[in-house]
Structure 1
Amino acid sequence: MSSNKPSISRNELLDKLKVSSQVVLETAQKKGRSKCPKCNSSRMFYCYSCYVPVESVPHEDIPIVKLPVKIDIIKHPNETDGKSTAAHAKLLAHEDVTMYTYPSIPDYDKQVHEVVLVFPGPSAVSLKDGLQYLIQYNNQKKDIPIPDCKRPRLDTDKSESDDKTIKTAGENTNYLKKVIFIDSTWNQTNKIISDERLQGLVSVELTERKTSFWRHQKGSPDTYLSTIEAIYYFMVDYHMQILEKDYNGEYDNLLFFFSFMYTLIRDAKKAAGKL
């Protein structure tokens, strides 16, 4: 899906974020690697296995982000933990984020009426239409089965009252209980996305944005986002399109680690003459 808004350069986007002070990360970076307080592994900034800051990064100096909807992240077993940004979400929004390593995932077939899967594809719809699917599903009489498909059909011939439901979607946020993100390279997603436990879920795609990830996969479009970017942009879209509120940086701290690490790598490349 394409956005009608003018594109923002990567640096300009990150520079405009309203993130908490990153002095704690600057200090830790100068000290070097430190121990994880849980597993004693040597890490920089945080432990990507235990999802906690290392000893040189005081827990109270790390921002806490409260999300408007719960998130499940499904990690591919071959995804390298230290290279993934999924840990950022668990660290910064730990009360609202649950991590799973495939194939150990919930049976989402039982939650089809309250869950959406963020994944682009031929059957993916916009966020607003995804919520409308859930509204239609939940408004159907319980004794009337949905024919031939677990996912309800989005009625394109909307009556005036149906159209009003979409326009006032901010009043129907209780229908969406959870959002699923897949954490893997694009070449690894097929096995997860075809799992029978995910079939029948509404797939939604984000408004198109360009990635700022420094480990962008070669040969892939720059609209392929890292996991934390996808979560961040979903929350921004949800805030503006579904909650129908002006966005004032409420979820910018989801990129607290991401923006700092981007700056470190960008400055290192400049110093080496690679930029």
Structure 2
Amino acid sequence: MENKKNKKNNNNKNQDDETESVDLNKLKLDDEEQEQEQEQKKEFIDDSWLSTLKLAPSDYLTELDRAICPQCKKKRKYFCYDCYVPFGEPGLAPKLKLPIKCDILHYPTELLSKSTAIHSKVIAFDDVSIHEFPEVPDYNVDETVLLYPSATSEFVRESDLSNVKRVVFIDSQWHTANRILRDPRVKKLRCIKIDQHKTLFWRYQQHGDAYLATIEAIYYFYRELHMRLNGGNYDGQYDNLLFYYTFFYNLIQKTYKQGDRNFWRKQNYIKPAKDGITGDSITGDSTGDDEANDSTGNTGGDSNNTYISTADTTD
């Protein structure tokens, strides 16, 4: 009789254990489903348009090591941000001719090694000039415009730019930009602005996705200028302005996906692996955002903000 009772108790205990095990498994599955749902609900910036850009092949960049710049003799990677010399075999880096000149006013406390504006000088060397503030040319106001979203700015698509020969960009963090804007030589210029776009920049900044990296602002300006002058048509004429920028963006995405690493600089910046990598030219070993943050390949700290986009339409 006692044996039957013990057997019954053991059976009940086994059933309780099985029920508890089933409940725990169900709980685990529920948690996994919730995590998957939360992951699906995350909003990632759409980078699908990058695949439509007509860019020169960038495969060779993945094979570059740090090298000595032939002009300044300093060690750099990808290009020299002091001499604006592209690295790699001659002819591999794209070259562009711009329809009007591009001036960049660079705030001196910002590291040139972290400035995306340098990309434009490397790619369109003859048409881009970089000035260290407070060194500012005395511009001809009839032939020069400033890309900045002031209260009186007109959109590029609506502006009369027939006499314009030069466009000025400010390459600075937002909190130092006003020092440049207050300069009389800058203040007198007519302001224009581009349409609103979302940044793909990898550095954290607190103002929002509409605040672009400087090279993004430069690219969108020349694209919209071309469309303004050509009846709304555009066929990738200035896409290579984003040659290095796109390479660095894809490099960061690939590095963090492969290493399953946490990208702490910006929330929801690294897209899920199932989305794939934009383009298929990023191969080989990389150090990801360390290289993107510093074009020399050195590891460096980040700015607290992106460089100013003078084209953000935040009226």
Check conservation: 1:10, 1:211, Cα contact below 8 A. Answer: no
Identity rate, percent: 40
Instruction: Tell me whether 1:89 sits opposite 2:114 in the alignment.
Output: no
Question: Which residue pairs with 1:170 in the alignment?
Answer: none
Instruction: Tell me whether 1:238 sits opposite 2:225 in the alignment.
Output: yes
Written as runs of structure 1 = structure 2, the 5 A alignment for 1:153-192 is 173=162, 175-192=163-180
Check conservation: 2:45, 2:200, Cα contact below 8 A. Answer: no
Q: CA deviation at 1:129?
A: 4.2
Check conservation: 2:157, 2:224, Cα contact below 8 A. Answer: no
Instruction: Tell me whether 1:258 sits opposite 2:245 in the alignment.
Output: yes
Q: CA deviation at 1:199?
A: 2.0
* Runs of 4+ with deviation above 3 angstroms: none
Question: Which residue pairs with 2:27 in the alignment?
Answer: none
Question: Which residue pairs with 1:42 in the alignment?
Answer: 75
Question: Which residue pairs with 2:49 in the alignment?
Answer: 13
Runs (5+) with no aligned partner, structure 1: 1-7, 135-172
Which residue, 112, 115, 118 being the options, matches 2:141?
Answer: 112
SS of the residue 2:47 aligns to:
helix
Report the TM-score when normalising by structure 1: 0.76
Q: CA deviation at 1:21?
A: 0.9
Q: 1:189-231 CA deviation, whole Å, 9 max, x = no partner?
A: 01001101112211011100001111242x1111111111101
Q: Distance in 2 between matches of 1:267 and 1:23?
A: 14
Which residue, 103, 106, 120 being the options, matches 1:72?
Answer: 103
Q: CA deviation at 1:271?
A: 2.3
Check conservation: 1:65, 1:251, Cα contact below 8 A. Answer: yes
Question: Which residue pairs with 1:100 in the alignment?
Answer: 131
Which residue, 52, 56, 59 being the options, matches 1:23?
Answer: 59
Q: 1:119-166 CA deviation, whole Å, 9 max, x = no partner?
A: 1121222124442xx6xxxxxxxxxxxxxxxxxxxxxxxxxxxxxxxx
Q: Over alpha carbons, which structure has the higher Rg? A: 2
Question: Which residue pairs with 2:300 in the alignment?
Answer: none
Check conservation: 2:94, 2:240, Cα contact below 8 A. Answer: yes
SS of the residue 1:116 aligns to:
strand
Between the two proteins, the alignment pairs up a number of residues equal to 219
Which residue, 201, 204, 210 being the options, matches 1:213?
Answer: 201
Instruction: Tell me whether 1:272 sits opposite 2:278 in the alignment.
Output: no
Matched to 1:115, the amino acid is T
Matched to 2:177, the amino acid is T
Question: Which residue pairs with 1:127 in the alignment?
Answer: 156
- Alpha carbons of 1:247 and 1:129: their partners in 2 closer, same or farther (altered >3 Å)? closer
Question: Which residue pairs with 1:165 in the alignment?
Answer: none
SS of the residue 1:249 aligns to:
coil
Q: CA deviation at 1:272?
A: 3.1
Q: Distance in 2 between matches of 1:118 and 1:59?
A: 33
Matched to 1:89, the amino acid is S
Report the TM-score when normalising by structure 2: 0.66
Runs (5+) with no aligned partner, structure 2: 1-43, 263-269, 271-315
Question: Which residue pairs with 2:209 in the alignment?
Answer: 222
Q: Distance in 2 between matches of 1:100 and 1:208?
A: 26
SS of the residue 2:218 aligns to:
helix
